[in-house]
């Protein structure tokens, strides 16, 4: 939700709302299964050269997929409930940091989402 202006190019509000809903669903799974050791997280794959992203996009599909796999393969319990930006060397906006959309910890989300 903190990136609403960044995706202002997307003409369909339903697309943006679906991304927010997906993050909310991920948080619910993160809270429900954290005691069993599962880690649920979302990843921002970047602007990819595809039918949707077009040829002027920043990254190839392979670059985006590899960066998302790097996040998934190194995730631990600390990342549970997080929304990660990919990390791509040479790109300042793909810095690998958390996307600022939620409280700092999954435990804090129990009150936030009124679970």
Q: What CATH number should be reported for the domain holding residue 41?
A: 3.40.50.720
Owning domain of residue 91: 13-112
> 99 near 44, Cβ under 8 Å?
yes
Place of tokens 């996009």: 57
Q: Give the global pTM.
A: 0.75
pLDDT one-digit tens code per residue, 82-99: 999 999 999 999 999 998
pLDDT in tens, 16-59: 888 889 999 999 999 999 999 999 999 999 999 999 899 999 99
Domain-located, residue 2: no
Count up the domains in the chain and report the number: 1
């Amino acid at each position: 939700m903190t990136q609403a202006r960044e995706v202002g190019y997307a003409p369909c509000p339903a697309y943006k709302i679906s991304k927010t809903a997906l993050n909310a669903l991920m948080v619910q799974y993160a809270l429900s299964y954290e005691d069993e050791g599962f880690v649920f997280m979302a990843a921002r794959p970047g602007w990819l050269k595809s039918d949707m992203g077009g040829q002027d996009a920043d990254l190839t599909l392979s670059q985006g997929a590899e960066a998302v796999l790097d996040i998934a393969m190194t995730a631990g319990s600390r990342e549970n409930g997080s929304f990660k930006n990919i990390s791509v060397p040479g790109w300042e906006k793909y810095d690998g940091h958390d996307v600022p959309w939620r409280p700092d910890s999954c435990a804090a989300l129990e009150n936030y989402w009124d679970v």
